[in-house]
Amino acid sequence: MNQLANDQISSGRHLSYWLYSEMMLLEFESLNADIETDVVIVGAGIAGLSVAYQLVQSGKKVVVVEDGFVGSGETGRTTAHLTNALDDRYYRLNKVFGEEKAKLIAKSHTDAIDFIEHVVQKENIKCDFTRLNGYLFLHPSDKTESINKEFEAAKNAGIDVEKLQNVPGILNEKGECVEFKNQAQFHPLKYLNGLCKAILDKGGKIYTQTHAKDINGDGIKTGDGFTIKAGYIVVATNAPVNSKYILPMKQFAYRTYVIGAKIKKDSIPMALWWDTGDHNANASIPPYHYVRIQPMNDEFDLLICGGEDHATGLADAEKIAEEQRYKLLENWARERFPMEEVIYHWSGQVMEPIDCMAYIGKNPMDKDNIFIVTGDSGNGMTHGSLAGMLISDLINGKENIYENIYDPSRMKLRGIGVFFKEFVGGLFSYLQNKSSDTIKDISELSKDEGKIFEWQGKKCGIYRDKDDYLHIVDAECTHLKCIIKWNNDEKSWDCPCHGSRFTPDGKVINGPANVDLPHHVEKLDNGF
């Protein structure tokens, strides 16, 4: 890995196994001139690069800009299950969208897995792509009939499922499960690497460390003041940096945690596993466990287990701090898998749309040539790949059967209930937690910690580094001015309102904010 600090490489202090195992950053030159193109794409995660890949195949001139490196965002922090077993459950999708549309949704995710497989074969990408089965089993807080309901709904939606009387590969997990056949997994950064090569081979351009500061119908202006004039603009930044009000109000940001533990090679079958989620913690968006195995070396594989989600900035509402969640994951996994020591841990962010499906298409209330991909949910690998097919069809004027389902302007009445529960619950927790993070005197601040402090009549976020420098940022989020909250695990300032995140020095790392927090550094003994 190069000399950069971890929070410059990725969106937090902990790096994922994917970033360590690639041992190189996918870095290109940054933009240093004004240019013109057919399509400019903002964001080099799976969504932006899938759109770029499809568009260069269709003959369009494409430029991708990325303000970090390729895979700096959530694609570098994922667990990369490629699945049509959607985490919002088909029996819920039937209620929100109706059975016919649920069939189309199922098909769209099946198509997305096939798309990835096709690209892997066509471009000869060595990314450990593997077909395998997935198993959905009951969380103790969920009703026993959920497994049956999901089996019937998934079968009805056209998915190849079977009901089993126990869960293959898991110790101590008795009871029925739904087997989802022919799912897949891969190494996400190796896949992105392959996409980049294919895009460049077809004449596409990728610029990293190039921040899209202004995005409008003419193109973009970068943080360094260069312009890219374009006929079409696609914003694939995960959180919607070009939608201040509409899309941030239709989704909620959650943090999710991952551990990677050594497991003796071939000690359990290769598969994907998910439980149905903790309905006591959150009945509308139940946090669930997700597990897979990644081949590592001749002796060991890596068991990758995720879960313990909470609304961004609101970990304290459950009285479990961010950094304590890895231990919970480890305890859960140890009871079920013969794993050895934990050698990786990291966290990431997902955007949960109120009606479960991603927003892919024309950006609402904006110019007709501006497109967006957001609302990835826990299925962003397939949603991002689907964006590749759907947005390239929309730009090329081709019909696409999934256009209406993923239309970012849609408003589902069924989703409104979830919106109010999450919004009111979130607001309540936010107000309750506002003061727990505040200090009256700098002496209350430990090294390597951040807190809110009132200085000269203004709320500031102060991070005290290991050398006693105080990194002071304005505590009002640059999106809609909520007060930020310190995340002591990833060493970032997280906004509880819509999930924007900033480094200790105020640099924006997750939207919808697209502007840094004003920042100032002082030595601790200089008048503090």
Ligand X SMILES: Cc1cc2nc3c(=O)[nH]c(=O)nc-3n(C[C@H](O)[C@H](O)[C@H](O)COP(=O)(O)OP(=O)(O)OC[C@H]3O[C@@H](n4cnc5c(N)ncnc54)[C@H](O)[C@@H]3O)c2cc1C
Q: Which residues bind ligand FES (CB under 6 A)?
A: 248, 477, 479-480, 482, 495, 497-500, 512-513
By CB under 6 A, the residues from 241 to 260 that bind ligand X are 241, 256, 258
By beta-carbon proximity to ligand X, the closer residue of 97 and 344 is: 344
173 binds, among ligand X, ligand FES, none (CB under 5 to 8 A by kind): none
Among the listed residues 12, 28, 63, 68, the single contact to ligand X using CB under 6 A: 68
For ligand X, the binding residues in 39-58 under the rule CB under 6 A are 42-48
Q: Give the single-character DSSP code of 289.
A: -
CB 202 within 8 A of CB 359: no
Buried b (16+ CB within 10 A) or exposed e, 412-447: beebeebbeebeebbeebbeebeeebeeeeeeebee
CB nearer to ligand FES: pick between 249 and 283: 249
Distance CA 229, CA 220 (A): 7
Please select the residue that binds ligand X; options are 108, 133, 238, 312, rule is CB under 6 A. Answer: 238
Q: Binding partner of residue 209 among ligand X, ligand FES, none, CB under 5 to 8 Å per kind?
A: none
CA distance linking residue 447 with residue 185, whole number of Å: 40
- Any residues with CB less than 8 A from the CB of 527 and at least 6 apart, and which? none
Question: For ligand FES, which is the closer residue by CB, 56 or 513?
Answer: 513
For residues 291 and 333, is the Cβ–Cβ distance under 8 A?
yes
Q: What's the closest the beta carbon of residue 80 comes to ligand X, in angstroms?
A: 5
b/e map 48-77, b = 16+ CB within 10 Å: bbbbbbbbbbeebbbbbbbbbbbbbbbbbb
Cα of 304 vs its chain's centroid, Å: 16
Q: Which stretch binds ligand X (CB under 6 A): 134-142, 323-331, 376-384, 411-419?
A: 376-384
Give least dist CB 208 to ligand X, A.
Answer: 9
Contact 90, 153 (CB under 8 A): yes
Nearest by Cα to 140 from 320, 286, 311: 286
* Residues in Cβ contact with 215 at an 8 Å cutoff, skipping those fewer than 6 apart: 42, 233, 235, 241, 242, 370
Return the number of the residue (306 or 504) whose C-beta is nearest ligand X.
306
| Neighbouring C-beta atoms of residue 323, cutoff 10 Å | 16
Contact status: 65 vs ligand X (CB under 6 A): yes
Within 197-226, which residues bind ligand X (CB under 6 A)?
Answer: 211-212
Query: What's the closest the beta carbon of residue 45 comes to ligand X, in angstroms?
Result: 2
Binder of ligand X out of 277, 306, 361, 499 (CB under 6 A): 306
Contact 377, 353 (CB under 8 A): yes
Q: Which of ligand FES, ligand X, none binds 437 (CB below 5-8 Å, type-dependent)?
A: none
Q: Tell whether residue 73 is a contact of ligand X (CB under 6 A).
A: yes
Which residues of this chain interact with ligand X, rule CB under 6 A?
42-48, 65-68, 72-75, 77-81, 211-212, 236-238, 241, 256, 258, 290, 306, 348-350, 373, 376, 378-382, 384, 511, 514
